[in-house]
Amino acid sequence: MRSFQTLKAITFAMRNLILGSSITSLKLLRQPKKMVGFVNESLFSYQAFTSKHGLPQKNVFEVLDAAEVQDIKLGHLKGKWSPYGDPWLHTVPSYTADIVSLSLLTQILKPQVIFEIGTLRGYTTLHFALNSPDAAHVYTLDLPTKSVVSPHLKMTSVDYWHVDHHTTIKHYDFQDTPVASKVTCLFGDSATFDYTPYIGKVDLFFIDGAHSYEYVRSDTLNALRCCHPGSVIAWHDFGRVGVNGVSKWLLELSKQHDIYAIPGGFVAFMVVK
């Protein structure tokens, strides 16, 4: 299964290279990683500018009841020089748009209970804790680090890479911070995890686990069970080339719910009604 996913990813990469490259980008051929990044961002920008990705684009403050001025907190800014990873403030601004929007969403919504699928190194977890009320609590779910992963549902090659990287993480970004006590780490496969204690209690649910259609669909259905009217569900990697399962599911779900994509980033969100 994994070899098939790898072959599929290579096929997508070759297609994207043909569709998203330009004469100027050929200068990056000797830097394959940068070339792939350029191509992916080019295709994403094309979809955004031409409204090809299928969801209406709105900032979170346009959908939620936001005051004229909002303060947000950004943390782990020196992460670039630490062994735990860098902040989401890259040369390409899409990740910056994502973390700013998620922080802004948290500040406006003021959730008391936040549930996240996909901890990895805890960067978004930290920002949920930083920007939520003092009494709020963040539950973050990820795979156990010391076990052989046997996914219940199909995963993408990108997910397998994350799983391999996940086992090397020894420290979370939120550890040793003033908000660490607000975070509870949970472990398990999101498709088989028991959400019973959280049903109807979650104010903000963030989905950033496995990126296959099957997993994103399963995670969303569980999120809907855990949320209540007025809650917000947010997803990461909508519109990102190479993890098309996220976009496929959200476009399907948008026929039943009002879902928005933030301009310039990969976050999509909806208010539960």
Sign, CA dihedral 253-254-260-265, equals positive
User: Which pLDDT does position 171 carry in this prediction?
Assistant: 85
User: Which pLDDT does position 222 carry in this prediction?
Assistant: 98
- pLDDT tens for residues 83-115? 557 888 877 788 999 999 999 999 999 999 999
Q: Is the pTM of this model over 0.75?
A: yes
What is the C-alpha to C-alpha distance for residues 73 and 157, in angstroms, rounded to an integer? 33
b/e sequence 108-141, b meaning 16+ C-beta within 10 Å: bbebebbbbbbbbbbbbbbbbbbbbeeebbbbbb
Q: Do 134 and 152 contact (CB within 8 A), yes or no? A: no
| Residue ranges matching CATH 3.40.50.150 in the chain | 57-271
- Could you read off the pLDDT tens digit of each residue along the chain, which spans 273 residues? 556 555 554 555 555 555 555 666 666 566 666 666 666 666 666 666 666 668 999 999 999 999 999 999 999 888 665 555 788 887 778 899 999 999 999 999 999 999 999 999 999 999 999 999 999 999 999 988 766 668 889 887 777 777 777 677 778 999 999 999 999 999 999 999 999 999 999 999 999 999 999 999 999 999 999 999 999 999 999 988 767 899 999 999 999 999 999 998 999 999 999
What is the C-alpha to C-alpha distance for residues 75 and 177, in angstroms, rounded to an integer? 9
Report the CATH superfamily, name and number, of domain 57-271: Vaccinia Virus protein VP39 (3.40.50.150)
